[in-house]
Amino acid sequence: MQRRQFLPLVAVGLAGCVSASDGSGPRNAPTEAEDGEPVETTRGLSIVDGSPREGEDGALVLAIGVENTADGTRSDTLVGRATVETDDWTTEYDATREVSLDGGAAAEVELVFDVRYETWAGGGGLSYGWAGQFEA
């Protein structure tokens, strides 16, 4: 798994605390692709909603609804961080998923975390958004 560093959003010790952010894209987006065509500088991809659930194997799964409001295909990376807090320690679990949607399309994308749902639900937080919106 490739980890990306980012500042967590509100990921505090309330059981099942979930927060999302839908940033506007990379700070210094390219203006021209390798083939010389202009690159669209607006994100186009939007997060509609997110809902945590228990996966078939007992893992924490975050189902995120995304849509492409642009005319053409858009791609980006969803990132998520699950935080589990107890009296003695705090552990963070990161997950990423590449998303590519045709113009006007919508889909549900799953982020799967390497922590059991019941462990997270007992005292965890969850934050997610687009990779380009988080600063390292």
Q: Which of 25, 6, 22 is nearest to 81 (CA)?
A: 6
72: how many CB neighbours lie within 10 A of its CB?
10
At residue 133, the pLDDT reads 74
User: Of the CATH numbers 2.60.40, 1.10.3470, 1.20.1250, 2.40.50, which one belongs to the domain with range 17-27+34-133?
Assistant: 2.60.40
Residues with Cβ within 8 Å of 6's Cβ and at least 6 positions away in sequence, in order, are 79, 81, 131, 134, 135, 136
Q: If pLDDT is split at 50, 70 and 90, which confidence band does 18 have?
A: low
Q: Is the pTM of this model over 0.85?
A: no
Residue 128: C-alpha distances to residues 40, 79, 80, 96, 134 (Å): 23, 6, 4, 9, 10
What totals of helices (H) and strands (E) does the chain contain, helices first? 1, 7
At residue 122, the pLDDT reads 81
33-60 confidence digits (pLDDT tens)? 445 544 444 578 999 999 999 999 999 9
At residue 75, the pLDDT reads 94
Q: Which of 53, 52, 20, 26 is nearest to 39 (CA)?
A: 26
* pLDDT, average across residues 80-95: 92
Instruction: Find the helix or strand (DSSP H, E) in which 126 lies.
Output: strand 124-130
Residue ranges of domains in the chain: 17-27+34-133
